[in-house]
Amino acid sequence: MPLVVLCGRRGSGKSRRAAELREALGGPERPVHVVAEAEGGRAALRAEVERRLSRRDVVIVDAGNELRSIRYELYCAARQAGTPRCVLHCAGGTGGPDEPPFEEPDPSCRWDRPLFTVRGEEPLPLGAIRAALFESAPPPPHRATRTQPLQSCGFLHQLDRVTQDVLAAVLAAQRSGAQPGETIRVPGVAEGLVLSRPVSVAELSRLRRQFISYTKMQPSDENLPQLASMFLQYLSRSIQ
């Protein structure tokens, strides 16, 4: 059954909207589960969403989901489960100095659509949300379950190379004495990575494998310029 991904800054009313959706979308034959951010961070949230996704239940993700890489992971989880999904952006809120920058959802990106935006006390567009979740056709079989087209080979090669380059830059910075809190730069990427603690080769390699397993599910040339940035964001959120 469908997945609803909420996103927004702190104080934007995400939990209130999640409660409204739970009341509006649930019923005797349609259990609704609200999955909120947990102590385990991004990985725990994703694992709980994947565990809850089924043919019968509705899953609502009540979390900031401020980075496009997080929303992309949830998009891949829904595609893998073969279920419709939508994104509800709760605009407004103040955020906080300890929060990562909020990346506005972009309806031109497939992982951010269908997109609905509400502000303040605006009523939820429940009719349109129901149509997106319950009246749209299920997504086609995931590419991970089919033979990959030849044109995806270049994407997968680039994915492998870019993630290797990022790991090499992170390891080189740590060997050069980079301390927790310092910004690690990757050549050719505007964004930097700030680590809260030293990270081993084994942990970085594990995170790289996880990122590749999600990203290669949807090989697309439109993602090529963003791969390094997306991987840096993934590392930032996964290393607590």
Query: What average pLDDT score do residues 205-229 get?
Result: 75
Which has the higher per-residue pLDDT, 5 or 212? 5
CATH number for 3-135: choose from 3.20.130.10, 1.10.3470.10, 3.40.190.10, 3.40.50.300: 3.40.50.300
Specify the pLDDT at position 88. Answer: 97
CA distance 212 to 231: 9
Q: Distance of alpha carbon 138 from its chain centroid, rounded?
A: 20
Question: pTM here?
Answer: 0.62
- For residue 72, pLDDT beyond 80: yes
Residue type, 28: P
pLDDT at 144: 45
Question: Taking the domains of the chain in order of start, what are their residue ranges?
Answer: 3-135, 153-239
**pLDDT tens-digit profile of 144-177?**
434 344 345 677 788 888 899 999 999 999 999 8
**What is the torsional sign of CA 192, 160, 75, 205?**
negative
Task: Output the six-digit token pair for 134.
Answer: 């319950």
Per-residue pLDDT reduced to its tens digit, 9-60: 988 999 999 999 999 998 878 889 999 976 567 778 888 888 888 777 899 9
Predicted confidence (pLDDT) at residue 5 exceeds the cutoff of 90 = yes
pLDDT at 12: 92
**pLDDT tens-place string over residues 86-122:** 999 999 887 677 777 889 999 988 899 999 999 989 9
Res 230 pLDDT > 90 = no
